[in-house]
Amino acid sequence: MSQGVNTFGAASAALDFDAELMLRVKEGDEDSFRVLLEKHRNPLVHFLYRMVQDQPVAEELAQEVFLRIYRSRATYEPTAKFTTWLFRIATHLALNSLRDGKNERGQERLDDERDGELPTRQVADRGPTVEQSMLYQARLQEVRDAIASLPEKQRAAVLMHKYEEMDYSQIAKVLECSESAVKSLLFRAYETLRSRLAHMSAGGLK
């Protein structure tokens, strides 16, 4: 997994606390690995779930991601942000899983997804009515269905850009392509989503 280039060294680790933790893991610090696991596991599972639309598969893939990271600890060098490395492994595994057809696309268990940002929005002081809550969930599912129907790389780019708030440069490193290719992927993806979700409000993608 390592790039094998020690160009950034300690300077990169200073800018990225996760990279500093990973360097400690490289030195044999098991506690630092547990910190990384606890910090990134839930966001990673959410990303993988949105990619493969199957919670057990997402959980299994997340476990494999961290297993690969741990196995690569001896050769780790902070040549990029830790999250770039993390999502590069996760994206490759998700794409392989989709292409291999390992995840069964039956009923999507969206109700079982525990999305950290969504419940806090819905449980507001005003107290949404049952009708408002049902409408919110219906629109949320419609957005997720639209994203899930995108071609695989477009879907990955949108999820990283919209939900993980990655910039073009980081997404390009994850997908191992140019920034212009990322912009093209996102342009086509968002055009498709705008067309499919035109009947919804401007905030429909949030």
**Which residue positions in the chain have pLDDT lower than 70?**
1-15, 102-128, 131-132, 136, 201-206
pLDDT of residue 67: 95
Among 2.30.130.60, 1.10.150.20, 3.40.630.30, 1.10.1740.10, what is the CATH number of 1-103? Answer: 1.10.1740.10
Query: Would you state the structure tokens that stand for residue 42, as one six-digit string?
Result: 């839930």
CATH code of the region 115-206: 1.10.10.10
Taking the domains of the chain in order of start, what are their residue ranges? 1-103, 115-206
In the chain, where does DSSP find H-type helix? 9-15, 17-26, 30-52, 55-71, 82-100, 117-122, 130-148, 152-158, 168-175, 179-196
Q: Which residues contact 115 (CB under 8 A, 6 or more apart)?
A: 46
User: Which of 140, 160, 145 shows the shortest CA–CA distance to 94?
Assistant: 160
Residue 103 DSSP class: S
Indicate the residue type of 175.
L
This prediction has a pTM of 0.70
pLDDT of residue 135: 73
